[in-house]
Amino acid sequence: MKALAPLLSTTLTRRELELARALRERLPEAMDTHATRAFERRFENWLGHGHARAFMGGRAALAMAIRALDLGDNAGVIVPGFTCQCVLNALAFAGAKAQYADIEHTSLGLDVDAVRAAITPGTRAVMVQHSFGLVGRDFEAILQLAHERGLKVIEDCAHALGARHRGLPLGAYGDVAVYSFERSKVLTTIHGGVALANDAEAAQRLCALAEAAPLPAADEIDAQLVSVMHDYWVRASGDAAGAERARALWGERVLPQMWPEEFGISVPPRYGQRMPSAIARLADAQLDRLDAVLARRRAQTAYWQHWASKRGIGYFDAIDGSEPAWLRFPLWVDPALKADRHALENALGVEVGVWFTTPAHPVARTEAHCPRGMDACQRIVNLPTLLPASHPHAAA
């Protein structure tokens, strides 16, 4: 059977492969934060606002952003009923409490009326999640509501690096924002992320938290560099023989997408760790190609929209004034197809994603007061927006 076009690690190129190899050879020299600070300054300049600090994951960055907003002591943070366990963990590990609110079906963002109904005396913030890189239908209304109620806004841009709204990059609107470079994101370093603070007090706290954060052990970073090399060959290269060699050489050292502790109650060490120069160098190399990657994702989205329209399959489009990142192309399907998507995968020759299967994906959870979120968990699948040029469904 022919290999399916992958969802993960598709932005890795020979450049990252060679860089990872070179960094492994001189790893002790790359276990500082000199390149990290340079990357953070570049990130700030690219966005045109805020104070950026890089950590060992988007979820780690979210935990740090919550701490920077001083949202401990069980402070309530409204989250969409269509999210992942990593978000809930980041809140809990930082001392905050998730309060679910339902989503809208136009663009899978928080519904402003549901947010209004979810506010309690203990609510101190709302987390706006830009799912699949889309801007939510009620984004502006939620910003206004948060301002009126004195709530902090956390922008979850894990899916939305490079997306814009009304001419501004996503992340510019919140008091804080977070970005991810995990395997499944717009760009990847396997694990890694950035917390951004626009609020002055939060920026001071974020910088202090980053300054105090320890670096990972060198052997952990070596395993991450090995994972870059493995994923290039196995997922991005299109070279079957190279993929087989990579599996044999490095398969046992590849890092997981989620750590075992994330399914329990203990805090994984990476939630408190700073990104070292070795990983920042990879992030810098990936950022060089962001515009080209976004252009490809948007072209592929246009192809999938035409494909879905011809078949009467429900899909999504950008709201007025927005330029989504289109990390994935979400579709509405029957629950039975989502439960057994292999026929669709084989028909299209692509891996089909299932974000999200529950309001705490992939952990089982029911939120009955979020019926639209629960419906999306049953019916939303997603297609890759980066395909090999030779793929029969690749955009021209």
Q: Which residues are known catalytic residues?
A: 185
Cβ atoms of residues 387 and 394 within 8 Å? yes
Residue written as tokens 């997981």? Answer: 256
Task: Give the strand pairing for 328-332 and 314-315.
Answer: antiparallel
Helices and strands: H and E segment counts in the chain: 14, 13
First vs last Cα of the chain: how many Å apart?
A: 25
Any idea what the Cα angle at residue 57 is, between residues 52 and 58, rounded to 5°? 65
Cβ atoms of residues 318 and 135 within 8 Å? yes
Among 216, 259, 270, smallest CA distance to 64 is for 270
For the record, the structure tokens of 299 come out as 């072209």
Q: How far is CA 83 from CA 156, 191, 355, in A?
A: 11, 19, 8
Task: Give the strand pairing for 193-197 and 51-55.
Answer: antiparallel
Beta-carbon contacts of 145 under 8 Å, excluding residues fewer than 6 positions away, are 112, 115, 116, 126, 151
Q: Is 179 left (phi over 0), alpha (psi -120 to 50) or beta?
A: beta
Among 271, 39, 49, smallest CA distance to 174 is for 49
